Amino acid sequence: MDRTLFNIGVLYALCGGCVNGEFGVAWGSGASLQEANAPKSGPMSIKRTLGFLYWLAHLVGDINAIQKDRVGRRIRRRIAGKFSDRGFRKLFR
């Protein structure tokens, strides 16, 4: 297996995909992956557009980290970000 593909798989397995969920679905929303990836009808909303752009930015950042051999640092920072996000969510309900 190619080293780059292996590193992408490891990064996404450890971090669970994007920080904000898969394709704009928040972690605590209870939406399943099938619901998140299901085709949506209707016009493209600003929320969906922003969700896609954030997803794309995370993907580009992951690829950049792999190219620079900074995968461990990125994993640690994304996990720390998830825990701080959960803490702030509980604090400011």
pLDDT tens string 6-39: 566 655 655 555 544 444 444 455 555 555 555 6
In the predicted model, what is the mean pLDDT of residues 54-73? Answer: 95
Amino acid 53 reads L
What is the rounded radius of gyration, in angstroms, for the C-alpha atoms of the chain?
15
Question: Smallest Cα–Cα separation from 74: which of 33, 4, 19, 2?
Answer: 19
What whole-number distance in Å separates Cα of residue 63 and Cα of residue 67? 6
Q: What are the extents of the domains in the chain?
A: 3-34+42-91
Cβ–Cβ under 8 Å, residues 23 and 52: yes
Handedness of CA 76, 82, 85, 87 (dihedral sign): negative
